[in-house]
């Protein structure tokens, strides 16, 4: 199991560098191949699909939780977009510059089949299952969540370029803030996986947070008040909505 765990971490490190630095244009392909490799490592380690949250047991519960969480996220984003005080949080220039085709690709292809599939299978599935098999649930949650936080170091380094509003934070705090936030999100996703026994619920929440955030940003910057556009041109403030 130690060998499988080491290989899992090395594969993830390689995928992270490939996706963020070497061949970012091949993000979808790299993510799909990495997911397949991780699942092969899971089986070589002697673990079952259920150990990764991919068994039939718990699937129904996970889907029910997932639908509820998607509805809650959609409601929260809708409220945030309607309130002037929070609408500026969705001023993401990446979504503003996207056409309808790019919107569909991001929300229905890239986010679910690259970002969500890879990260949930990797961190709440394979890695979580491997650590839990030797050290229990608590350590599985800790290791998975810490590594999930570190997984976001390279994307966070690009945040100031992709989101001018990130300059409102001190430059030295952008990466630590992203890592801590991602690690805390990892704990929540691990708990969902534990309580439902399935990856369906964390996958649904992950997709809703990213894809519906992108969709909301796209809608806000097309149909909101003119002040939103002005804010975008001047370098908006707020939190990133990142696929």
Question: What CA dihedral angle connects 120, 121, 123 and 125, to 10 degrees?
Answer: 110
Inform me whether the pLDDT recorded for 214 exceeds 80: yes
Cα gap 30→146, rounded to integer Å: 22
Cα gap 161→148, rounded to integer Å: 22
Domain boundaries, the chain: 2-234
Give me the percent of the chain exceeding a pLDDT of 70.
87
pLDDT in tens, 24-74: 999 999 999 999 999 999 999 999 999 999 999 899 999 999 999 999 999
Give the model's confidence band at 95: pLDDT under 50 very low, under 70 low, under 90 confident, else very high.
confident
Say what the pTM is: 0.89
Cα gap 199→53, rounded to integer Å: 5
Inform me whether the pLDDT recorded for 82 exceeds 50: yes
pLDDT in tens, 99-108: 999 999 999 9
Q: How far apart are the first and last CA of the chain?
A: 32
Contact 119, 200 (CB under 8 A): no
Token look-up 């519960």 returns: 61
DSSP-assigned letter for residue 25: G
Contact 187, 149 (CB under 8 A): no
């Amino acid at each position: 199991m130690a060998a499988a765990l080491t290989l899992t971490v090395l594969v993830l490190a390689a995928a992270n560098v490939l996706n963020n630095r070497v061949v970012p244009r091949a993000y979808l392909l790299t993510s799909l191949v990495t997911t397949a490799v991780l699942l092969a490592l899971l089986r070589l380690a002697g673990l079952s699909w259920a150990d990764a949250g991919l068994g039939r047991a718990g699937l129904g519960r996970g889907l029910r939780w997932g639908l509820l969480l998607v509805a809650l996220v959609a409601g929260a984003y809708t409220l945030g977009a309607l309130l002037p005080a929070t609408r500026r949080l969705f001023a993401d220039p990446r979504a503003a510059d996207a056409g309808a085709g790019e919107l569909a690709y991001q929300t229905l292809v890239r986010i679910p089949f690259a970002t969500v599939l890879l990260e949930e299978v990797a961190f709440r599935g394979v890695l979580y299952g491997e650590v839990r098999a030797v050290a229990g649930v608590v350590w599985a949650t800790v290791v998975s969540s810490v590594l999930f936080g570190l997984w976001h170091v390279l994307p966070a380094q690009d945040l100031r370029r992709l989101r001018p509003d990130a300059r409102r934070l001190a430059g030295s705090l952008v990466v630590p803030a992203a890592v801590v936030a991602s690690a805390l999100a990892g704990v929540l996703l691990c708990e969902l996986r534990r309580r439902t026994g399935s990856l369906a619920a964390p996958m649904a929440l992950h997709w809703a947070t990213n894809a519906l955030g992108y969709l909301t940003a796209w809608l806000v910057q097309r149909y909101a008040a003119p002040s939103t556009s002005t804010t975008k041109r001047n370098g908006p403030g707020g939190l990133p909505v990142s696929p």
